[in-house]
């Protein structure tokens, strides 16, 4: 691990106002304790942290950072628990609702934060030292931490989808990096003809269909006007383009199950030239002997549709359970401050290839892949940070499979999504 320079600043012994959102739109603020400054050695607590990162490729880096944190805070014990990402959202909600078993600190997907805050499960951080340098964080990741005028998280990592490609396969086929979906279609066919290998693999999931929808000027919702737009003509046009590509020469026909794993297996083995995916897979590609190392990995913005090129912004935030005892406040503040410092974010970026949320962290990063994602993030599209945001992708995933695998009419599939949003997710919204 690259050695980090400096250390985090001393934090107040009890810096938190511990202002918990009280259910619905009401807010209950607990009074702040007296602020005093203490030595890191005097900060004592045991904190449970649910880490939802990849247990194989990412978790070891975070465990090393915990050890580094304990060099400064020797009396803060971090009870590290790796919780599968697909289980964490419901597991946290169940524990928080029962007021038992929830972690003190959670690595939350960005869409979960407004939902958890609206339910009263998170502490507001506005009166803490954790937001004192918020201007150093990128604007879009910070947006994911807000709900009803308060701040409920600290951005950990950010990301977006990109076109990842195999440089050697591109050279062998004599193709250029595609800038539009139509160019990608042509390139995939050429690669298949000239190399005998597959040109592209698109994962048939809702999140991965968003670049097609954005590319035609569409979106899932218009939160400002409270409208459901997933079945708009623009969104249908995007889904239609995705369906067209997966049937085109050189594209892998995705399976109905475990398509993501199949996509990554083909790409890392050097059998697929192009995929749409994010920086979280950089470490996986790096460790794949058959791929040829990161020097062989090309990164570019997702191809454009008829209107623009754009992919969704994702990432994770650190949040604190509203049931955490106040006597743990100083330790929790110190730990999150350390884990989100520029030095820690640069370490994570160098080792894992994920993108920092702090502007100052980028100057400390030595991993060249991070710089390649800069134009990707410039084209990224912010999602609707509403409490229901995390519930949008289940119905969209079903539709993506029906459209891209089973060949269902895109309009019919997206009409069904719109109706499900209306009846189950954002009931006060109107369709289109």
* Residue-wise pLDDT tens digits, 316-358: 999 999 999 999 999 999 999 999 999 999 999 999 989 999 9
**What is this structure's pTM?**
0.84
Same domain, 51 and 89: yes
In a domain, 203, yes or no: yes
Q: What per-residue confidence (pLDDT) applies to 36?
A: 52
Same domain flag for 247 and 125: no
When divided into structural domains, the chain yields a total of: 2
Give strand pairing partners of 17. none
Q: Residue 112 belongs to a domain with what CATH number? A: 3.40.190.10
- Residue 346 located in a structural domain: no
Do 51 and 34 have their domain in common? yes
User: Is the same domain home to 220 and 73?
Assistant: no
Within a domain: residue 133?
yes
End-to-end CA distance of the chain: 50
Q: What phi, psi does 156 have (nearest 5°)? A: -95, -60
The answer on 224 and 115 residing in a single domain is: no
Per the structure, the complete domain to which residue 28 belongs is given by 19-152+314-340
Residue 91: predicted pLDDT? 98
Note whether 335 and 319 are within 8 A (CB).
no
201 and 298 share one domain: yes
Q: How far apart are CA 260 and CA 265, in angstroms?
A: 9
The confidence score (pLDDT) of residue 12 equals 39
**Nearest CA to 54 among 383, 283, 303?**
283
Q: Are residues 173 and 119 in the same domain?
A: no
pLDDT tens digit string along 242-259? 999 999 999 999 999 999
Ranges of residues in the chain with a pLDDT under 50 are 1-35
Residue 361 lies in a domain: no
- 354 inside domain: no
Report d(CA 277, CA 265) in Å as an integer.
Answer: 13
Shared domain for 270 and 419, answered yes or no, is: yes
- 202 domain-assigned: yes
Residues 185 and 238 in one domain: yes
Asked whether the beta carbons of 293 and 270 are under 8 A apart, the reply is no
Domain-located, residue 78: yes
Does residue 372 belong to any structural domain of this protein? no
Together in a domain, 106 and 226: no
Answer yes or no: do 168 and 226 share one domain. yes
Q: Is 41 helix (H, G, I), strand (E, B) or coil?
A: helix
Spatial distance between the Cα atoms of 156 and 418, rounded to a whole number of angstroms = 32
Helix, coil or strand: residue 137: strand
- Determine the Cα–Cα distance for residues 380 and 162; give it in Å rounded to an integer: 9
% residues pLDDT > 70 (the chain): 91
Which pLDDT score, from 0 to 100, does residue 24 have? 39
Mark whether 257 and 404 lie in a shared domain: yes
Strands 45-51 and 76-82: parallel
- CA gap 386, 293 in Å, rounded: 39
In terms of C-beta density within 10 A (0-12 exposed, 13-18 middle, 19 or more buried), how is residue 146 classed?
middle
């Amino acid at each position: 691990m690259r050695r980090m320079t400096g250390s985090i600043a001393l934090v107040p012994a009890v810096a938190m106002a511990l202002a918990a959102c009280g259910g619905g739109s009401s807010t209950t603020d607990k009074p702040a304790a007296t602020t005093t400054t203490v030595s890191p050695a005097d900060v004592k607590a045991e904190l449970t942290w649910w880490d939802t990162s990849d247990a194989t490729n990412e978790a070891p880096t975070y465990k090393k950072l915990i050890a580094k944190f304990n060099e400064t805070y020797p009396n803060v014990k971090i009870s590290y628990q790796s919780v599968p990402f697909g289980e964490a959202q419901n597991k946290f909600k169940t524990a928080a609702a029962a007021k038992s078993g929830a972690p003190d600190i959670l690595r939350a997907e960005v869409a979960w934060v407004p939902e958890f805050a609206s339910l009263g499960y998170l502490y507001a951080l506005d009166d803490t030292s954790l937001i004192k340098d918020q201007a150093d964080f990128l604007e879009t990741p910070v947006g994911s931490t807000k709900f009803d005028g308060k701040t409920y998280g600290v951005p950990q990592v950010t990301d977006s989808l990109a076109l990842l490609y195999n440089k050697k396969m591109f050279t062998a086929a004599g193709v250029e990096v595609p800038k539009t979906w139509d160019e990608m279609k042509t390139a995939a066919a050429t690669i298949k003809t000239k190399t005998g290998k597959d040109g592209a693999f698109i994962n048939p999931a809702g999140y991965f269909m968003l670049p097609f929808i954005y590319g035609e000027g569409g979106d899932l919702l218009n939160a400002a006007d409270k409208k459901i737009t997933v079945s708009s003509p623009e969104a249908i046009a995007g889904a239609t383009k995705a369906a067209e590509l997966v049937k085109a020469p050189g594209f892998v026909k995705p399976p109905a199950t475990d398509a993501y794993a199949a996509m990554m297996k083909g790409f890392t083995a050097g059998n697929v030239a192009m995929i749409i995916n994010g920086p979280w897979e950089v470490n996986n590609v790096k460790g794949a002997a058959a791929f040829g190392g990161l020097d062989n990995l090309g990164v570019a913005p997702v191809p454009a549709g008829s209107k623009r090129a754009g992919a969704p912004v994702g990432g994770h935030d650190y949040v604190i359970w509203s049931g955490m005892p106040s006597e743990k406040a100083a330790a929790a503040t110190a730990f999150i401050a350390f884990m989100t410092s520029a030095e820690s974010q640069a370490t994570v970026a160098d080792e894992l290839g994920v993108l920092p949320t702090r502007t100052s962290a980028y100057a400390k990063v030595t991993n060249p892949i991070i710089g390649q994602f800069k134009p990707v993030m410039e084209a990224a599209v912010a999602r609707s940070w509403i409490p229901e945001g995390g519930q949008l992708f289940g119905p969209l995933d079903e539709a993506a499979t029906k459209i891209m695998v089973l060949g269902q009419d895109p309009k019919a599939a997206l009409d069904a999504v719109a109706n499900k949003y209306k009846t189950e997710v954002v009931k006060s919204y109107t369709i289109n």
